Chain A
Amino acid sequence: MREKQWAEKYPDLGTAPLPAEPYISDEFFALERDLVFYRNWIIVGRVDEIPEAGDYFVRDVAICKASILVIRGSDGVVRSFHNVCSHRSNKLVLDKRGSCAGGMYCHFHNWLYSDKGALVRVPDEENFFDFDKRDHGLKPVITDTCGGFVFIHLHPEPVETLHDYLDGISDRLNDQHFHEMTLMQTYGVTESANWKVGLDAQNELYHFPFQHRWISGDSLLMNDKKQCRYRDVTLYNYHSAWSCEYDPVSKPTPLKAALFKINKKTRTSRLPRMIGDTELFTLFPNFAIVVMRVGGVMTSYLTYQFWPSTVDSTLWEIRIHFRKPQTARELLQQEYYKCITRDTLQEDTASHETVHKGLVSRANSHMILQDNEIAIRHFHKVLQDRVGLHLN
């Protein structure tokens, strides 16, 4: 836990301040749309959301004005399509998720598509001209999976496979046993902030003992100066991962102690540890996974996704996953963790919006980053590389 150790590990990143312009510039936002969201692998959901043949969900990628239908076919394969009828471009599926045993009908002229996206039936087909149904299936979107996450690539010709894009982080995702947990809660909040403001805030520990001083300020393991330190930071081509430890001897609140049966003995013996390692994976461009191993008691993971709609409006989607509770106590433990998480993230949303206001004011042309904020530095370098615009 030395100071400035991560800049030593990754000297190429430098230590200079970063420009504020990418958060507030319409021109930069347009480049992000065309060169980042159109031309990178982005996560749209999980395979376990659609376990059965015919199960589907719809994901709006607002920045690209796209509605994506992700569906498991009768052959078990997960595919994605533009959620647009091939006939006159009506929106095909109107609900957010469901199951279509008999295929999907367009409500406009009753064109019917199979769960593999093929056009199956067209009313009054004989009245069309030089028409072959086989030419008019749903428009496919390139799709692949890793660790149970469904990735799409909107541009039809990816410059690299998902495996290459994920670099070494795919092995770490595959190790996490995400499939053993189920979605317990989805939150969504529309923030008046650029999408990177929230992503940055979740990508560093520096703020934790300050911003969250009441709610969870002393739960992370800190050094003797009361500062959080990472146990590890690993940067990949586009992505990053860091890990830290929760403080095993922080004093639990009365409710936490009662729910988790923590007493003085279990607290100070470090075994079983109340909360073990925490890892955060940031998957470029807009996704983060927080894995928490609540040692011996429960394991959970959170996902954050930041969906820009305009340069200053973002949907932050938060999903909380746990193992299926076996007892009422476990369910209430999970509820406790869920509420504390929500309380914490409400504090984050408030500051995302005040930070964005500060950026828009152009009071600061740059932001200064310290060593605990190295993952932010890495993210912005990747972003500037992707849009081909290097600002100083």
Chain B
Amino acid sequence: MESASAEPALPLPFEDLAPFLDWALETERARIEKKVTASMGEVRSFYDAMMPRLKEILDYLESCFDQEMPPPDRRLFLLSLSLVEVSSLVELYRQRESIEACDPLRFLQF
């Protein structure tokens, strides 16, 4: 076992978000793929877990912005990016059936 295994996956105040770590994805492509393959229930659970913590998350990230983030901070930041990615589905479309659009991955040509 590496010693890193002792490190928490997320910053301590946000450890309760650990069940959603599969949303901590580095690339826009991965976040889109996660959004389009997750069930609507999974998307809502993630959104509902993140939204009440957003102010706290923003305050926390402020202190480490523009620096090399330690992995737990980085994961928290990536969770925030996924929250932004899914927000229109939860808040505006509300259901996938409302979406009349091309496959989002078609936009990632470059």
Contacts and interface: CB of A to CB of B under 8 A. Distances in A.
A75 to B, nearest CB: 30
A188 B110 CA distance: 6
A189 B106 contact: yes
Given A188-B110, A327-B62, A328-B65, A255 B77 contact: no
Contacts of B84: 255, 259, 332, 335-336, 339
A343 B94 CA distance: 14
A340 B61 CA distance: 23
A215 B106 contact: no
A190 interface: yes
Chain A contact residues: over half helix, strand or loop, or mixed? Answer: helix
Contacts of A129: none
A346 B101 CA distance: 5
A350 B88 CA distance: 18
Contact of B87 (A188, A336, A349, A351): A336
A353 interface: yes
A254 B64 CA distance: 25
Contacts of B51: 254-255, 258
B58 A339 contact: no
A345 B101 CA distance: 8
Contacts of B100: 347, 350-351
Interface in B47-71: 51, 54-55, 58, 61-62, 64-65
Contacts of B64: 328
A254 B84 CA distance: 11
B65 A254 contact: no
Contacts of B92: 214-215, 253
A57 to B, nearest CB: 12
A133 interface: no
Contacts of A349: 101-102, 106-107
Nearest to A211: B100
A199 B62 CA distance: 40
20 contacts: A188-B107, A189-B102, A190-B109, A253-B87, A253-B91, A255-B54, A255-B84, A256-B87, A258-B54, A328-B62, A328-B80, A329-B58, A329-B62, A331-B65, A332-B84, A342-B107, A343-B88, A343-B104, A347-B100, A350-B101
A-B CB proximity, top 10 nearest: A188-B109, A346-B101, A328-B61, A253-B91, A255-B87, A187-B107, A349-B102, A328-B65, A347-B101, A335-B84
